[in-house]
Structure 1
Amino acid sequence: MATQPLVRIGARGSKLSLAQAGQIQRRIAVALGYAPEEADVVAPLVVITTTGDRVQDRRLLEIGGKALFTKEIEEALLDGRIDCAIHSMKDVPAECPDGLTIAAIPEREDPRDAFLSNKADRLEDLPQGARLGTASLRRQAQSLHRRPDLDVQLLRGNIDTRLRKLNEGEVDATLLALAGMKRLGLEAHAKSILDPYECPPAPGQGALAVETWVKDQDAPWLEAIRDPATTLAVAAERGALRTLEGSCRTPIGAHAWMAGGQLQLVVEALTPDGKTRFRREGSAELSALASPFEAAQDLGTSLATAIREEAGEAIVFG
């Protein structure tokens, strides 16, 4: 057994973050040549509280965007206090700080959104003027596009907090990432699952990101936990994210999947009130290309560029 840590892993302290990080921690231990039971010794978790965790009464776009879930962890990585960071990919900004990179993306969990309510089985079945709780501008816009009568209320917090507020009647319904619910064993609370083609999730939703220094990205233990198919799908989705402004100020959905040897992608952006939706879809044959990763990124960029040219500033909040 190692007498000191080989890889120190930075992660947020929420129940979901620790569950996600724990899954990858055990895989890292195995990749380093140790048993999963030795993970706490060879690849210990270092809990870091982020601004996004501390501030729960405002939308992220009002306090600095999604980087508030990663900033303090990335500072620890840059300072040498940790050797890698594990994030939910949907929380990772379009660009990493200088010197850092997303070095590995493991197999993706279910990318879809789940609908939760004590009053209806589907968003379409909610009563007129029902209160929908969400802090996501994308979920707000997509829901209002389908149900413009809904009263959208700010609802932030971890999954347990949002479930409690739903059960206490603060809102009539909410939407959550199914991946997080599955990782915590809470998927039974979902009344229905949204179609990812009709209602694309956040770019990267369901995937985890392992961030390291650029100089460390070729470490063998990172190669052991990468999933090529997920990496290509996320590359396409984040190519769209990067082109469409890439912060919490634009309602963006993107979903990529492999079908018949081709990478398929649908991208949409909406006006914040949901009244207008801009969509593009396309595919790329990657198998014969020397650089499939770049081709996947280019697919996302091209579809998003077409949306940007059509929509202009209409899709930017505020």
Structure 2
Amino acid sequence: MVIRIGTRKSKLALWQSEWVKLQIEKKFPDVRVELVKITTKGDKILDVPLAKIGDKGLFTKEIEDAMLRGEVDIAVHSLKDVPTKLPEGLKLMAFSDREDPRDALLSNGRYTLSNLPEGAVVGTSSLRRRAQLKIIRPDLRIEDLRGNVDTRIRKLKEGNYDAIILAAAGVKRLGWEEEIDEILSPSVMIPSVSQGILGIEGREGDKEVESIVREAVNSTESEVAATIERAFLRTVEGGCQVPLGCYTVVNGERVHVRAFISDLNGEFFHKEEGVFEVKDLEEADKLGVSVAERLLSAGGREILEELLRCQ
């Protein structure tokens, strides 16, 4: 049997797909896994801020189209890049163990977030990071930063920024942990929905492929966390780019959830945090919806309405 993985061409995407390939072939020696490289819209448009493109399938659509045409069988995504609504005929089959979910500050060995000079230039493409940075250090100058992980680090080394913020998971997976100057605690910066988790997407009805992928890769804890966080995102999404985050720590049936929604400048910031009991994925989904609805009632709905007016 051959399983074809559709993958972007970036170093991180290839690392992630190679890792899934290895897990499958270790568990199922009779299965051969092939990588099929595909260029996505997000790989082509590098000179426009992500928030201005506004395409929820920026890094997934072309690969999903290839799956629906039968050209590839599965895709390995950074789950934080995967829209909550998948194309008809596709599903998330499995969720990897979660790599470090936190954000990392890189500054060529010079700074931490607290000792960055006043007015320092910090690069990030994320509205979520931007809003939280504005709260912690309103003096900083935050500028857009696009490109793959290696491109972003190169731009830092060239002196375009005093510091940049990246997902720690991607930096660590590529073996560049020594470039990190500070890991930002979730109590300081709430991570993105599903940050650090790999999501394996495939066709509905491909039962044999799904069985193989789940046995080789799936983490129950990650599946619970992803279900809560993606239900939160699905409920909050208001048709526009919104600074928000949700992060879940799973310990058996007890889960610790942190979530927030904010305006673009961090001036109106609403946060929810608590420990809950979750027995199955249905309860996990309901919890994510509940956390989102509490944030919307606390002022998040007004933030969404204002953001829609400003589009």
TM interval, shorter chain, is: over 0.9
> Does structure 1 residue 283 correspond to structure 2 residue 275?
yes
Closer, same or farther in 2 for the Cα pair 1:265/1:106, shift >3 Å?
same
C-alpha distance in 1 between matches for 2:103 and 2:38 = 27
Quote the Cα distance in structure 1 between the aligned partners of 2:83 and 2:240.
9
State whether residues 224 and 250 of structure 2, in contact with CA within 8 Å, keep that contact through their aligned partners in structure 1: no
The 8 Å contact of residues 137 and 250 in structure 1, kept in 2 or not, is answered as yes
In structure 2, what is the equivalent of residue 27 of structure 1? 23
8 Å CA contact 2:54, 2:241 repeated in 1 = no
Partner AA of 2:273 in structure 1: E
Mapped partners of 1:7, 1:189: distance in 2: 35
SS in 2 for 1:67: coil
The one-letter amino acid paired with 2:9 is G
Look up the match of 1:209.
199
Query: How much has 1:283 moved relative to structure 2?
Result: 2.9
1:231 partnered with 2:231: no
Deviation of 1:33 (Å): 3.1
- The answer for unaligned runs of 5 or more in structure 1 is none
Q: Does 1:108 align with 2:98?
A: yes
CA deviation after TM superposition for structure 1 residue 8, in Å:
0.6
Spell out structure 1 runs of 4+ moving beyond 4 A: none
Structure 1 residues 75 and 212: CA distance shift in structure 2, 3 A: same
Shift of 1:246: 7.1
- In structure 1, the residue matched to 2:70 is 80
Conserved in 1, the CA contact under 8 Å of 2:235 and 2:292? yes
Instruction: Describe the SS at the equivalent of 1:109.
Output: coil
In the alignment, which of 278, 293, 296 is matched to residue 284 of structure 2?
296
TM-score (structure 1 length as normaliser): 0.91
Deviation at residue 275 of structure 1 after TM alignment: 1.6
Root-mean-square deviation (CA, aligned residues, Å) is: 1.8
Q: Which residue is 2:12 aligned to?
A: 16
Point out where structure 2 has 5 or more consecutive residues left out of the alignment.
none
Residue 119 of structure 1 and its aligned partner are, at CA, apart by: 7.3
| Structure 2 SS opposite 1:215 | coil
Secondary structure (helix, strand or coil) at the match of 1:193 reads strand
1:121 paired residue among 81, 106, 111? 111
Tell me the number of residue pairs that the alignment of Structure 1 and Structure 2 aligns.
304
Match 1:312 to one of 295, 301, 306: 301
Distance in 2 between residues matched to 1:246 and 1:48, nearest whole Å: 30
How far apart in 2 are the matches of 1:276 and 1:119? 33
Give 1:48's aligned residue.
Answer: 38
- Pairwise CA distance, 1:150: 1.4
